[in-house]
């Protein structure tokens, strides 16, 4: 699939087929996500790949009962590592760069999944402390939950604000 087609075909998918994802596809998502750029190449993020049914159920609950999370065969959970980034960039690394690193990595995972014919939905609404507890994390910051699976629905384009409202060319 051409990159432009991946971008145009990617939609939030909240309904998944009861079909496992081939391990090669999961490894491809992981490998491509690992190529995400990061501030100072510190890669100040960690990713948990969750297949365990009980953990997925707990994540869905921690995400304010967004049950589609537990229906996905695989759930990626992205954490920022503020102290890793702060080691070089101080407070700006702690407060911004590590969050950007994790966000970019999640975007790479989401687009990689789409390129492989899989669906996903970026989930940012959750109880931070619960997600940390479920993943056994203490000092990192949860940024996104990304359930991934074969789509049961095709998704649909959402409306966009006019380009002129968002993009400003300064010459």
Nearest to 93 by CA among 165, 141, 134: 141
Q: Mind listing the pLDDT tens digit for each residue in 101-156?
A: 999 999 999 999 999 999 999 999 999 999 999 999 999 999 999 999 999 987 77
Q: Residue 45 contacts by C-beta under 8 Å, 6 or more apart in sequence?
A: 38, 78, 79, 80, 81, 98, 101, 102, 105, 143
Q: Tell me how far apart the alpha carbons of residues 145 and 122 are, in angstroms, rounded to a whole number.
A: 6
Please check whether residue 89 is in contact with residue 101, taking contact to mean a CB–CB distance below 8 angstroms.
Answer: no
Token look-up 């060319």 returns 169
Please check whether residue 46 is in contact with residue 143, taking contact to mean a CB–CB distance below 8 angstroms.
Answer: no
Q: Is the pLDDT of residue 1 over 80?
A: no
Q: What is the mean pLDDT of residues 43-56?
A: 98
- pLDDT the model gives residue 106: 98
- pLDDT the model gives residue 156: 77
Confidence band (pLDDT; 50, 70, 90) for 157? confident
- pLDDT the model gives residue 20: 97
Please check whether residue 85 is in contact with residue 94, taking contact to mean a CB–CB distance below 8 angstroms.
Answer: yes
Please check whether residue 111 is in contact with residue 141, taking contact to mean a CB–CB distance below 8 angstroms.
Answer: no
CATH class as words, domain 3-153? alpha beta
Q: Is the pLDDT of residue 158 over 90?
A: no
Per-domain boundaries in the chain: 3-153
User: Mapping DSSP to helix (H, G, I), strand (E, B) and coil, where does residue 77 land?
Assistant: strand
Q: Is the pLDDT of residue 35 over 80?
A: yes
Please check whether residue 61 is in contact with residue 33, taking contact to mean a CB–CB distance below 8 angstroms.
Answer: no
- pLDDT the model gives residue 128: 98
Q: Between the CA of residue 141 and those of 62, 82, 96, 127, 148, what are the distances in Å? A: 15, 8, 12, 11, 21
- pLDDT the model gives residue 18: 95
Q: What is the mean pLDDT of residues 51-63?
A: 98
Q: Mind listing the pLDDT tens digit for each residue in 65-79?
A: 999 999 999 999 999
């Amino acid at each position: 699939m051409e990159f432009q087609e991946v971008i145009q075909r990617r939609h939030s998918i909240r309904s998944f087929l009861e079909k496992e994802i081939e391990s090669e596809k999961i490894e491809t998502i992981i490998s491509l996500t690992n190529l995400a750029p990061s501030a100072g190449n510190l890669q100040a993020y960690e990713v948990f790949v969750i297949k365990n049914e009980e953990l997925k159920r707990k994540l869905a609950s921690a995400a304010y009962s967004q049950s589609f999370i537990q229906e996905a065969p695989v759930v990626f959970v992205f954490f920022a590592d503020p102290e890793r980034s702060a080691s070089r960039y101080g407070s700006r690394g702690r407060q911004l760069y590590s969050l950007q690193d994790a966000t970019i990595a999640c975007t790479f995972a989401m687009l990689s999944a789409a390129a492989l014919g899989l669906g996903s939905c970026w989930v940012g609404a959750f109880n931070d402390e619960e997600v940390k507890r479920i993943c056994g994390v203490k000092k990192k910051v949860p940024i996104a939950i990304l359930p991934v699976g074969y789509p049961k629905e095709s998704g649909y384009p959402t409306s966009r604000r006019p380009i002129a409202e968002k993009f400003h060319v300064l010459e």
